[in-house]
Structure 1
Amino acid sequence: MLSDNPLVAQGLDYFNQGTALAQEWLLSPAAWSQFGLLVGAYLLARIANGVITPRIRSLLTPAAESRSLLASGRRFLLIFLPLLLPLLAYGFTAIGEGITRSLFGSGEVIAFGKRFFLFLAARALAKRIVTDPFLKLLAKYVLVPVAALYAVGLLDTVLAALESTVVQLGNISFSALAIIRGAIAGSLLFWLGQWSNTQSTAYIEQQEMRPAIRQLIVKAAEFAIFGIAFLLLMNIMGISLTSLAVIGGAVGVGLGFGLQKIASNFISGVILLVEGQATVGDYIELDGGEAGTIIKMMARATILETFDGRWIVVPNEDFITTRVVNYSDSGSANRLEVDFSVSYDTDINKVPAIIEAAVAKHPEVLDDPEGPDCELRGFGDSGIDFGVEFWVNGIDDGKNKFASDVLFLIWNALKDNNIEIPYPQRVVELKGSLPT
């Protein structure tokens, strides 16, 4: 039979207790007087809420254009105004409960109403105030059910049942309550750590400092935040820090043997950030041929983005142990050059001035450290070889970006001055007489 099932029997027992309690409340004059006090407390809370809420709203609402820290704090407090009504009702009901218990020695009805108002506050928090997806999920499936159990008086019973339920993991045993508490606390702590890390990163990024030092401070803050969160979680779950020392020793041995490459890359990353020989935004070329713009520097590796949009993950150790060519240090100038040829019929004394003036018209070509410089390179098979050197901010972003523009300028300048660009020519010598 169903009544033989312990869970069903316990549920029937709770149902019978609730039925008996409801009958007692319905037939008791004292219960009706408590119910009247409960209704009166709620009406008083509505009146007080109607008076207090507009004043708080006008006091806390900042100017629309204000973006100060104080204005942000005032806007944050405004979102909790929907909690005012259930909390006022809870407070007035608590006062009524104290009066009832002192006069009549009982107050179960009004105590239930007080707990119910607290449940309404938790429900309003989950439904109308919390907007972060993770916190909303936690409030909906943890806070509201706990408040409901507290309202009906079953919270202590459920907690005791969870505490008595033991989960065995090898030689270690945990109560179900400890696991649930650890999961909830861990989720909250690491969400708070992620939020704190985002805020601290945004603040550090606004400070005036060398990019490499900024990256180092960001990483140090991230490790500190999540390290503190981990230690707090261990403390909440009741795990001794002595056991963590043993784990740390084991990790140290592992680093010495199997994880030495990871440790080497981590330490190399710290050295790289401190020395600042390469930072985010620099275009670098390694000894192994890898070349690209640094877009992200992590604890273990650095990510380069090539001209064709591909990502190359380079271990940090390679930046320390191999030769690194840094073409741009946060937008420094670099010298580029392109080659061209003119016909042997050209007056070559005029070419340098014409080309230097044409290349100088490019908006990205710099006059400092020096302007365009056209040089005679040699006498080729088909024409006279020249080269023009020029300085730009950065590098050739993509294949021949600056070089292509400069070659167009050279072509137009030579055409405008009637200077011929040669093409390969060959002299054919025929020995003997031509065939008839």
Structure 2
Amino acid sequence: MNFDLASQPMIVQQAAGYVLQGWDVAKTWLLSPAAWSQFGLLIAAFVLAWLLTKRLRPWLERWLTPDKGNNSILATIRRFLLIFVPLLLPLLAWGFTGIGEQVTRSLFGSGAVIAFGKRLFLLLAARILVREIISDGFLKLLGKYVLLPIMALYALGFLDDSIARLNEMTISLGNIEFTVMSVIRGMIAGSILFWIGRWSNDQTGSFISKQEEMPPATRQLASKAAEVAIFGLAFLLLMNIMGIPLTSLAVLGGAIGVGLGFGLQKIASNYISGVILLLEGQATVGDFVELDSGEAGTIVQTTARAMILETFDGRWIVVPNEDFITTRVINYSDQGSANRYEVPFSVSYKTDINTVPDIIEAAVATHPDVLREPFPPDCELRGFGDSGIDFAVEFWVNGLDDGKNKYTSDVLFLVWNALKDNNIEIPYPHRVIEIRPAQDS
């Protein structure tokens, strides 16, 4: 097959060269008795693997499937191994083909066809791994566009040539020069390392959050420290893989320091403030706080830069960590969950006010959430108003008013019913209008 491709573009000439090379290999395989024997061994290996898989797979699935509700370490390992059962067929075929390769090389001194079959079975295993086993979206994307092309090049025998070509291609950025292969290797390694870092960080955070004997602030601080350590290690490993000396990071560290000194002052301040808050434990997730600006809510999340408050009406407020250090913050949950509230009310001047405290205290004490400790309900005389005598009843509850339990509303109902039951009048404003006759001038 001779074609004159001198006038064609270089890429067409290279493609034609690969096609001709493949045609020569195919002719050699088709006309060689050794190649036919290797094809026969490949088919025999696949059929044997298929028959063995047909018998082994149901048994393996039954044996590796643990009982429902069994969460022991052994059950977890069995569930993990169960995921890889679909790889049984290509891996068995690969193993049998490897045995056949040794036989053909000892008999014919050649095993190119059966070696190609081995690589083909590995490509099939990679395809099953990406399509049926990997469930994580990022890993599936990485397998589809990185692993499968690499395995395809490996199966066709072009992987070494492709790596050599990529190592010859260089990219220059000023005085910096690097190969295309180093960029690809860095992107792949970085993707895998930071995915592992994210997974490790999630697992570590989940483990630390379950340690209930640790104070909440300590758990959060440990989670942040683990996060910094994990991603810091991933970054150092990536630098090592890409061949970048760590001493060169000194210049980068100096640049970051200058940036922090000028443009990133607030970010650095908020980050350090967050660490101080975690160390002191004065504000943590679950606390109800009121800021100096009047905004109040429950801390539902802490980040390196800010704390997120959720108000009673469902809004989220992002508050920089620095505000918790430099301004006055009231933490209603810092000394415990018990809080005191009061409900004002008035009675008529016709009332015997000496009986009012006992009536109201007994009524409020019937509320199931009102506490006896640290203090029972206390009704106090507050003053003599224009229309009536002013009282207020103080009470303690575990929780926050206007949240899940509206204590003020409940207590007002109790006060109203108690006054009505005892015929005590609740006053309302009275106005006296005096009409004087007109005087004769």
Please name the residue that 1:245 is paired with. 250
Change (3 A) 1:434 1:185: farther
Contact 1:338 1:403 in 2 (8 A): yes
Change (3 A) 1:366 1:2: farther
Q: Does 1:146 align with 2:155?
A: no
Aligned-residue sequence identity (percent) comes to 69
Please name the residue that 1:343 is paired with. 348
Please name the residue that 1:190 is paired with. 194
Q: Which amino acid counterpart does residue 255 of structure 1 have in structure 2?
A: L
Q: Which amino acid counterpart does residue 422 of structure 2 have in structure 1?
A: N
Please name the residue that 2:314 is paired with. 309
Please name the residue that 2:419 is paired with. 414
Task: Determine the C-alpha separation between the residues in 1 that align with 2:315 and 2:335.
Answer: 21
Contact 1:328 1:395 in 2 (8 A): no
Selected match of 1:274 from 276, 279, 293: 279
Alpha-carbon distance, 1:398 to partner: 4.5
Task: Determine the C-alpha separation between the residues in 1 that align with 2:87 and 2:288.
Answer: 54
Q: Which amino acid counterpart does residue 137 of structure 1 have in structure 2?
A: L
Please name the residue that 1:110 is paired with. 114
Q: Does 1:263 align with 2:268?
A: yes
Task: Determine the C-alpha separation between the residues in 1 that align with 2:150 and 2:313.
Answer: 54
Selected match of 1:128 from 126, 129, 132: 132
Which stretch of the first structure deviates more once superposed, 142-151 or 352-361? 352-361
Change (3 A) 1:69 1:430: same
Q: Count the aligned residue pairs.
A: 435
Selected match of 1:57 from 61, 67, 83: 61
Task: Determine the C-alpha separation between the residues in 1 that align with 2:336 and 2:12.
Answer: 74
Task: Determine the C-alpha separation between the residues in 2 that align with 1:65 and 1:410.
Answer: 52
Q: Which amino acid counterpart does residue 312 of structure 1 have in structure 2?
A: I
Task: Determine the C-alpha separation between the residues in 1 that align with 2:426 and 2:142.
Answer: 74
Selected match of 1:387 from 379, 389, 392: 392
Selected match of 1:71 from 69, 72, 75: 75
Which stretch of the first structure deviates more once superposed, 170-179 or 373-382? 170-179
**Unpaired runs of at least 5, structure 1:** none
Q: Does 1:327 align with 2:332?
A: yes
**Unpaired runs of at least 5, structure 2:** none
Please name the residue that 2:184 is paired with. 180
1:218-250 alpha-carbon deviations (Å, 9 max, x no partner): 111111111111111111111111111221122
1:248-277 alpha-carbon deviations (Å, 9 max, x no partner): 122223323333332222222111111111
Which stretch of the first structure deviates more once superposed, 354-363 or 196-205? 354-363
Alpha-carbon distance, 1:3 to partner: 5.3
Q: Does 1:200 align with 2:220?
A: no
1:376-412 alpha-carbon deviations (Å, 9 max, x no partner): 1111110011000000112223499321221122112
Alpha-carbon distance, 1:210 to partner: 0.9
Q: Which amino acid counterpart does residue 228 of structure 2 have in structure 1?
A: F
Task: Determine the C-alpha separation between the residues in 2 that align with 1:149 and 1:52.
Answer: 31
Contact 2:399 2:405 in 1 (8 A): no
Q: Which amino acid counterpart does residue 408 of structure 1 have in structure 2?
A: F
Change (3 A) 1:138 1:395: same
Give TM-score, length-normalised by structure 1.
0.94
Please name the residue that 1:9 is paired with. 13
Please name the residue that 2:409 is paired with. 404
Q: Which amino acid counterpart does residue 332 of structure 2 have in structure 1?
A: Y
Selected match of 1:371 from 370, 376, 389: 376
Q: Which amino acid counterpart does residue 224 of structure 2 have in structure 1?
A: K
Please name the residue that 1:90 is paired with. 94
Which stretch of the first structure deviates more once superposed, 254-263 or 239-248? 254-263
Alpha-carbon distance, 1:430 to partner: 4.0
Contact 1:285 1:292 in 2 (8 A): yes
1:285-343 alpha-carbon deviations (Å, 9 max, x no partner): 23333322212221122222233333332222222222221112385101000100011
Contact 1:359 1:372 in 2 (8 A): yes
Which stretch of the first structure deviates more once superposed, 183-192 or 74-83? 183-192
Task: Determine the C-alpha separation between the residues in 1 that align with 2:63 and 2:439.
Answer: 109
C-alpha RMSD of the superposition = 2.1
Q: Which amino acid counterpart does residue 336 of structure 1 have in structure 2?
A: Y
Alpha-carbon distance, 1:212 to partner: 0.9
Secondary structure at the residue paired with 1:365? coil
Contact 1:26 1:32 in 2 (8 A): yes
User: What are the equivalent positions in structure 2 for 1:38-49 lying under 5 Å apart?
Assistant: 38-49=42-53
Please name the residue that 1:362 is paired with. 367
Task: Determine the C-alpha separation between the residues in 1 that align with 2:136 and 2:119.
Answer: 26
Alpha-carbon distance, 1:142 to partner: 1.3
Change (3 A) 1:406 1:434: farther
Q: Which amino acid counterpart does residue 334 of structure 2 have in structure 1?
A: D
Secondary structure at the residue paired with 2:124? helix
Task: Determine the C-alpha separation between the residues in 1 that align with 2:322 and 2:349.
Answer: 53
Change (3 A) 1:170 1:358: farther
